A and B are shown apart, each in its own frame.
Chain A
């Protein structure tokens, strides 16, 4: 089942903060976050594992609320380079299960 992402789009000015969310109706093993720029392949940002372990990006943080089955990605002091579409992906049953992506959130950072 596809994770649900919100909001659908975010427009920011450089230096502002943003939070984007990813939720699932079923229990999750892990959540991945990827960013895709127009015409390019998705690039890994962050993974959050059941139990709270977190690995990934230095300048972007995220949280995983196991009770709510929701992950949030925090973009602070946004830069122009943060513009793109952010996808969350989820594994449900373990490290060997497939990674299913949400529809994505478009983030635009303006000068």
Chain B
């Protein structure tokens, strides 16, 4: 499978625990995005990387959230001291930079997501 891979697919945790999600992007993509999606809502931007550099992080994201992409390949998203409001689907997407005039549209390829339930 050459798509975006996310692990674990499901995570149930107790309030106050730390959780970590992993995303393996499509190998030739240098951009990686994290989004959060709750029922009935669109994907909410969390952060994105170009190679290993974190280019932007949502101001809505509290200090309990951190993301890394140390070698410019896979990425991890850690949530510390989880709260019930963190329950959501965490989506990862990858892309290559859009190139004008070519076939590359800069479209995002999404993984299946990691569903977090905080009890």
Interface of A toward B, CB cutoff 8 Å: 2, 30, 32, 34, 40-44, 47, 49, 53, 55-56, 87, 89, 95-104
- Interface Cβ pair total, 8 Å cutoff: 60
Residues of A within 8 A of B103 (CB): 55
Q: Which of A53, A98, A101 contacts B48 (CB 8 A)?
A: A98
**CB <8 Å contact, A102 and B42:** yes
CA distance A97 to B40 in the complex (A): 25
Report A29 CB to chain B, min CB distance, Å: 10
Q: List 29 A-B contacts (CB under 8 A).
A: A2-B42, A32-B107, A32-B108, A42-B91, A42-B108, A42-B110, A44-B107, A44-B109, A47-B98, A47-B106, A56-B105, A87-B42, A87-B43, A95-B97, A95-B98, A96-B50, A96-B55, A97-B56, A98-B33, A98-B45, A98-B48, A99-B108, A101-B35, A101-B42, A101-B43, A101-B44, A101-B45, A102-B42, A104-B42
Q: With A and B bound together, what is the CA distance between A52 and B40 in angstroms?
A: 31
Within the complex, the shortest CB–CB distance from A83 to chain B, in Å, comes to 16
